[in-house]
Each structure stands twice: as C-alpha cells, then as structure tokens.
Amino acid sequence: MENSVIVITGGHGGIGRVVVYNLLKNGAKVIVLDKNETTSTKIKENENYTFIKTDVTKLEDLQYAHKLIQEKYGHINYLISMAGINMKSEVDGIKGITFSDIDKSIKLNLTAHIYLIKVMLDLVEKSRAKDKRAILMISSINAITGYGLPAYSAAKSGIYGFMKSILNELGKSSIRVNTISLGTVPHMDQEVEGDEYFEHYIKHLAIKHFVRPTDVYDTIYSLLEISKCINGQNIVLDMGQSV
C-alpha cells in the first residue's frame, strides 16, 4: 500500500472516512473526490491526503479532477468508486418514487461510476507496476435482494453488469476490476442498539452483528494488495444478510 496512489469517491462519507483513514495510515497517497468538504482533522492533517471538491455526476468536475491528478502524480494505482446514496422518495417504492429521483439515483449510483472510470482510465494505465492496477466499485446487497429502493437497486445491480462488460478490455492493460456488495453498515457515529432501523435489519443477519466500516477497509485492502487473482467478481460483505 505504501506510496500507492489511490483515488476514492465518496471518501468523506461514513464508510469512506474510515477507509481513507486506514489507507493513509498504511502509507498510501489518497485523493478524495467528494462534494462534501468535511472530514476528520486527522485525515486533513496527513500530508498524503488530497481533496478535490467534485460532484461525480458532473463530467466537467471529473475532467478537472483528472487534470489535477495528472499534474500531481501522473498516474493512479487504485481507483475506488464509492460515492452513492438512495434518493428520499425511493423508500416509498415504485409507486412513491418521483421521476426526478429515478433520474438522479441512476445518474449517481450507476452513470457516475461509468463516467469516472472512462475519465480516469488512462491514469490507471500509466501506473508502472502492472500488478498494482485495480478498480473497485461499491455496490449493495440491494442489487441481489428485494429490499425496495427501485432505482438505487437497479443502479447497484447495473454496476455488476458494467464491471463484467469492461473486464476483458481492461484486462489487456492488466487492470483488475471487482465490485463489493455491502449489507447494512452502520457508521462509527451511529447508535445501533435500540434503533428501530437497525433492530429490523439485524434479524436478517445469520451472524448477529453488522459489518463495520473497518471490515469494508479490510476487504478493500485484500482485493487491492493481497488477493490479486480475484478479478471480475462481486464480493458480498453482509454477514449472510442477503441469504
């Protein structure tokens, strides 16, 4: 991980912060693309942390980020596409979701991943060490289980199809590409016990504790640095929740 150049979208979110903190702790040079500027002081103070304010749904923002990364590092080893969230009206299902939220959800949760990879691909190809080229996209078990959220779930499922479609093309440049489908992951600052939402979902888990953001980091670390033969896979991280 030491000195690897890693770009992560959504790196200021509840899971992203923990991932970024641990990547930095292990010596990586981390560039966060997020529309939210706020993160922890420990992250901000690390000399290997770079923030580029980016709306990942906007092509011009991604192109600007590409320019800055090209100037600063000239390449990317690992690209982690994590930014994503469901829209408010999706919780009311297909009858309740607004047309505007359908478009917004697909744009953020699917199209933005495709834009990001298309824009940043040449920088990943410029990484000298061929065994240190990889792309990870963060999906959800909503892609494989009937948990509602129609547009979000369709988009998260679409990520998997997209990953398979680019596998052979990227393989020619020795770039590995995988998706991680997360079950419920409470953030570090969220109280789980006594919370109605979490009490409901814990009943679905084969092992009765939730995946933690640090578990997400461990899986990311393994896919990037250790398990280098895993390619074209959707890794489900959910304590058995989707089964």
Q: Which residues bind ligand NAD (CB under 6 A)?
A: 9-10, 12-16, 34-36, 54-57, 82-85, 108, 138, 140, 182, 184-185
Cα 233 from chain centre: 15
Give the nearer residue to ligand NAD in terms of CB position, either 23 or 132. Answer: 23
Cα 107 from chain centre: 15
In terms of residues, how long is the chain?
A: 243
Task: Provide, rounded to whole angstroms, the least separation between the CB of residue 91 and ligand NAD.
Answer: 14
CB-based closest residue to ligand NAD: 13
Task: Provide, rounded to whole angstroms, the least separation between the CB of residue 55 and ligand NAD.
Answer: 4
181 strand-pairing partners: 139, 236
Q: How far apart are CA 39 and CA 197, in angstroms?
A: 25
Task: Provide, rounded to whole angstroms, the least separation between the CB of residue 29 and ligand NAD.
Answer: 20
Give the nearer residue to ligand NAD in terms of CB position, either 123 or 152. Answer: 152
- Helices 99-106 and 150-171, packing angle to 10 deg: 20
Give the nearer residue to ligand NAD in terms of CB position, either 170 or 239. Answer: 239
Task: Provide, rounded to whole angstroms, the least separation between the CB of residue 168 and ligand NAD.
Answer: 25
Q: Which residues contact 146 (CB under 8 A, 6 or more apart)?
A: none
Give the nearer residue to ligand NAD in terms of CB position, either 146 or 172. Answer: 146
Task: Provide, rounded to whole angstroms, the least separation between the CB of residue 4 and ligand NAD.
Answer: 21
Q: How far apart are CA 198 and CA 164, in angstroms?
A: 32
Give the nearer residue to ligand NAD in terms of CB position, either 132 or 155. Answer: 155
Task: Provide, rounded to whole angstroms, the least separation between the CB of residue 173 and ligand NAD.
Answer: 25
Q: Which residues contact 67 (CB under 8 A, 6 or more apart)?
A: none
